[in-house]
Amino acid sequence: MSTVIEDVKARKIFNSRGEATIEVEITTADGFGVASAPSGASKGKAEAIAYPPGGVDEAIRKVEELIAPELIGMNADDQEEIDNLLREVDGTKNFANIGGNTAYAVSLAAADAAANSYNMPLFQYLGGYFACQLPYPLGNVLGGGRHALGKAPDIQEFLVLPVGAPNFMAAAEANVRVHRKVRDILAKVDPYFTGGKGDEGAWAPTLTNEKALEVVVRACEEVSSEVGFECRVGLDVASSSLWDPEKQRYIYVNEGVERDSGEQLEYILSLISKYRLIYVEDPFHEEDFESFRELTSKVRGCLICGDDLFVTSEERLKVGIEKGAGNAIIIKVNQVGTLTDTWRTIRLAKENNYVPIVSHRSGETTSFHIAHIAVGLGCPIIKTGVVGGERIAKINELIYIEEILGEKAKMARLKI
Ligand code: 2PG
Ligand code: MG
């Protein structure tokens, strides 16, 4: 079984928002791999730059002219060497020259090709024989912010986490039920509701944040009693999108409210206790490690997760660990570019009791690699939406993984 790379191709395809993105194909002597990059709408400032100045076309040219000739002849299972090569060819810290999305597609296509050359599913290639824990799906059922238009809530995502699910199939089914129930309740409480959805398939009603929270909590409670296990509610506030650095305030446009940092902290604390939230992502803007620390020290039984705060960077996570900011981290491979960097950040998170949560982006392709990354690299939660072909692609892949693991399959251990 040889993983020697014989051919590399790059092409332009489209993501779920209809934006151009890059897909890379790698052929080895004994296998084949393919990966395509997602893209964000609410991006962190410290993320890798998605594309070089000339966009996807320039990225493709760079793969063909600079990266492919170097890759050919290398082994696809030399992941670290391939990722180092990507860093060398780029020469910047944030992939400004070749693009973080280009690095993502090459890095993952190499892993995919290596797994295929060994005739193994990707998660097993990444994690070994004992990688058999399924993640809990954290699903977006209602949303607004940068993922919707009009008078949708200012908070970006209202999420469900089926914490009591006995297996992945039951968890996925519970999320679908909550999503459907939210629609039924919205049809009654929002006179303007058209069934419209945001970028991730979450309903986008004309409601205030708290009204929306009430709907999702009610739907979760009803579904919990129907399925016989607990489903809890979480939020991605995506606060960097609300933060006005000049005014030093969070601007809730649709609600007509402004909050300074102290008021934001009080507001988040009140939502956590009133709605028994189990998960809050980016409650403060991306530079406010201090408020993250304060909130983390004040709550129990709730994950305080950094997305724009950490941008999957080992360096930024180190700062968070030193300060005690947060207890969970969003893992988006294209924020940092390569699989090796991602693995390092996940390892650091686990060593320091931060829950690593593998995540989709709002603009996704039908590529299902993050399902394998969650199982292979042992992440107990995957945030990947509930409906929509590009979201369901990941969910269905996990259903398949659960099936092929058979008796060995187990839900991950959630320490919250
Ligand atoms: C987020 C993501 C995904 P985006 O903020 O967590 O839900 O959104 O991809 O737009 O950054
Ligand atoms: Mg986020």
Q: Which residue among the candidates 62, 181, 332, 394 is catalytic per the annotation? A: 332
**Pocket lining: 164 vs ligand 1, CB cutoff 6 Å:** no
Q: How far apart are CA 105 and CA 111, in angstroms?
A: 10
More confident residue, 191 or 221: 221
- Ligand 2 centre to CA of 360 (Å) is 10
Report the nearest atom of ligand 1 relative to the CA of 385: 7
Percent of the chain with pLDDT over 90: 95
Per-residue pLDDT band for 188 (boundaries 50, 70, 90) equals: very high
Is 9 considered catalytic here? no
Residue to mutate, 17, 237, 307, 364, ligand 1, most ligand atoms under 8 Å from C-beta: 307
**Pocket lining: 364 vs ligand 1, CB cutoff 6 Å:** no
What's the mean pLDDT in 272-276?
98
Angle at 370 between CA 368 and CA 371, to 5 degrees: 75
Amino acid at 101: N
- Ligand 1 centre to CA of 242 (Å) is 14
Residue whose entry in the numeric block shows the structure tokens 């059922």:
141
Please list the residue range(s) of the chain that carry CATH number 3.20.20.120.
127-411
For residue 42, is pLDDT > 90? no
CATH dotted code for 5-119: 3.30.390.10
Please list the residue range(s) of the chain that carry CATH number 3.30.390.10.
5-119
Q: How far apart are CA 194 and CA 208, in angstroms?
A: 16
Per-residue pLDDT band for 319 (boundaries 50, 70, 90) equals: very high
Is 58 considered catalytic here? no
pLDDT at position 15, please?
A: 98
Answer yes or no: are the C-beta atoms of 147 and 362 closer than 8 Å.
yes
Strand partners, 160: 139, 233
What's the mean pLDDT in 254-283?
97
What's the mean pLDDT in 195-215?
95
CA 314 to each of CA 91, 176, 240: distance values in angstroms, whole numbers, following the listed order: 19, 34, 20
For residue 190, is pLDDT > 90? no
- Ligand 2 centre to CA of 304 (Å) is 12
Q: How far apart are CA 325 and CA 304, in angstroms?
A: 8
Give tens-digit pLDDT for 71-120: 999 999 999 999 999 999 999 999 999 999 999 999 999 999 999 999 99
pLDDT at position 364, please?
A: 98
Exposed, middle or buried: residue 19 (CB in 10 Å: 0-12, 13-18, 19+)?
middle
For residue 415, is pLDDT > 90? no
Report the nearest atom of ligand 1 relative to the CA of 360: 3
Per-residue pLDDT band for 386 (boundaries 50, 70, 90) equals: very high
In the structure, ligand 2 is a single-atom ion and the residues with CB under 5 Å from it are 236, 307
The H or E element that residue 169 is part of is helix 168-189
Q: How far apart are CA 378 and CA 132, in angstroms?
A: 8
**Pocket lining: 308 vs ligand 1, CB cutoff 6 Å:** no
Report the nearest atom of ligand 1 relative to the CA of 281: 6
pLDDT at position 192, please?
A: 86
Exposed, middle or buried: residue 229 (CB in 10 Å: 0-12, 13-18, 19+)?
middle
Tell me which fold the domain 127-411 belongs to: TIM Barrel (3.20.20)
For residue 191, is pLDDT > 90? no
For residue 147, is pLDDT > 90? no
Residue whose entry in the numeric block shows the structure tokens 């294209």:
334
Q: What is the mean pLDDT of the chain?
A: 97
* Ligand lying closest to the C-alpha of residue 147: 1
Q: How far apart are CA 372 and CA 121, in angstroms?
A: 8
**Pocket lining: 361 vs ligand 1, CB cutoff 6 Å:** yes
